[in-house]
Chain A
Amino acid sequence: MRTVMVLLPTSRIERTEREAIGAARALSREWSANVQVALIAPTAEGIEGLRGRTEASSDVSLWIAAHPQLEAYSPELYVSASEQLITRARPEVIVFPSRTIALEIAPRLAYRIGAALATDVIELRAEGEAVVITKPVYGGKAHAVLVAQRFPLVLCVRPRAFDPFEGELRAGTPHDLQIACDPSSVRTQLVQRIQEDAAAGVSLEEARVIVSGGRGLGGPEGFRLLEELARWLGGAVGASRAACDAGWVPASWQIGQTGKKVAPDLYIAVGISGASQHIVGISGAKCIVAINTDPKAPIFKVADLGIVGDYRAVIPALIAELKRTHAGSSGDRPGSSPEEGR
């Protein structure tokens, strides 16, 4: 029996992690493999987001490789823990979610175990003995179809590209795995954490509405307008790389190829030209609205609705109209909490 292993270097299972499990499960069904989810965490207790872990009916089993040395993230220890798990379980395919930590571990692990690696995977299927992978290349201008015939194979799946696994996780036997940690191998050490707050307190990944700004905003002040609009819509604020590079907003607001991948119901792109590297980050959005002075901007090719115009006039008009209609109903400002915010 073949094995697909999902490696989750985390104590918290969120949608991104469930998507990695979903991707593994879809592959395993076609490929008659079993799915093992392995968490790498400082302790097996208090894992957030586990549901019905002991349910026997699930076809997904859960293992937890815990060691107190893993409290502070260090790539050396996490790569070594991953390697130990793989030596034990001998999976054909290893799936990681595209978190920054996972994206750091995956290539090092792949090199160490002599595995092929594919990152940014958006589709996965079995074809006989082989695994067929689709990933965007050239900033999303093209898609590449890759065929893996040699295993093990390490994959990083792109967020918001696969349906999350919503089922139960069954405990493996033994579900708590012993791993060794060698502190002397550690060459890097976390000194400080700098949290960057999401605008309007809503996280981009969970937001149902995102108002996003680009170079066309011309400066940080423009983002104050977007924040006000986002509050009225109960949404979050994002940005293009150009706006982040200009220092107008924190880099953690960046959406796109090398920023957050988001899947809101509504995405409002303001002063964003629509470069493919930006668009690949919003392919999961249900409805895209473009506000741009240039009717020829590529963003209008991917938008559902658009206004050709200067955001400095359009956004205040939208806010005024929301205020007016809202005054008619409850009079108060709408709340801004997303359904599943954190």
Chain B
Amino acid sequence: MRIVVCLTQILDPEMPPSEFRLDPQRKAAAEGIGQLVVSIFDENALEVALQVREHILERKGAPSDPVEIVALTVGPPSAADVLRKALSLRADRAILISSEGWPPLEGAIVARLLAAAVRRLHPVDLVLCGRETGDWHGGQVGSFLAEELGWASVSFVSRIEVEGETFLMRRQSDEGWEIVRARRPAVATITNDETNVPRLPKVRDTMLAARASLPVWTIPELVEDPHTLWETSARVAVRELFIPSSSKVCELIEGETVQEKAVRLLEALRRRRML
């Protein structure tokens, strides 16, 4: 069984807001203000893939159909870092789809490129993507990819079990969770829960991953007439980005004792008609 995990590189979403700056020309976050990391839900997706592989191994010992995990990313050469991260967590292979020299990417184009790569990797049984990227929160690439491939797809999945020719996926609903059975091959977009918190790599694996050679696939290798990707793509244009202003002043409740603070907080809330 082959599982493809799609990863993308983003500006560290946990960087302090006080250091956040914009680049008005690029209409994006300024370069160099923070680390570049694997988008958080993509890390959850890789974790889910690793767990699927472990469960199959536990169940069958040495299975006749071993699980192979392939990490894919579309991006500039620097995006290779996310692939090395995936290898350090023991993905079996990692491939960079290089966008160097091409216009900026957007969801539908990324999905077309990923779909072409998945077809090239045939046979693939399962493709995992994060539910949304941690920078633009588009929430679309996984679903676009499923449409492009014409596969079953389930969104907001936190856990996957293999059952015969199907996958049992635990998906988030507005009320809790649902177990959904999906036919193979399938695409799932991954959300977080307590079972898929990304593990940490071992030092030795990180060192091995740093030295691994990464195959690079180019866009013309994957799609015919790549320029039409940009011409035909339906999209909205970015006019500008701005940092929303907040002018709140917090009233800190003081007091000699914690009881006093509690009394004063409740008083302040009553004054504001909150209680």
Contact = CB atoms under 8 A, between A and B. Distances in A.
Contacts of B203: none
B181 A305 contact: no
A301 B20 contact: no
Given A111-B111, A251-B158, A147 B172 contact: no
A141 B154 CA distance: 29
B188 to A, nearest CB: 10
A79 to B, nearest CB: 8
A194 B181 contact: no
A116 to B, nearest CB: 4
Contact of A103 (B155, B236, B253): B155
Interface in B165-222: 168, 171-183, 186, 191-194, 197
Interface stretch (B53-61, B64-72, B238-246): B238-246
Interface in B247-269: 248, 250-253, 258-259, 261-263, 265-266, 268-269
Interface string A261-273: 0000110000000
Given A107-B143, A245-B192, A309-B258, A258 B148 contact: no
A112 B272 CA distance: 50
Interface centre among B140, B154, B186, B197 (most CB of A within 10 A): B140
Interface hub of B158, B183, B252 (most chain A Cβ within 10 A) = B252
A107 B253 contact: no
Given A111-B148, A142-B29, A258 B191 contact: yes
Interface of B: 11, 13-14, 16-17, 20, 22, 27, 29, 41, 107-108, 111, 131-132, 134-140, 143-144, 146-148, 151-156, 158, 168, 171-183, 186, 191-194, 197, 234-244, 246, 248, 250-253, 258-259, 261-263, 265-266, 268-269, 272, 274-275
Interface of A: 75-76, 99-101, 103-104, 107-108, 110-112, 114-120, 132-133, 135-150, 153, 156, 187-196, 209, 233, 241, 244-247, 250-252, 257-258, 265-266, 275-277, 286-287, 289-290, 295, 298, 300-309, 313-314, 317-318, 320-322, 325
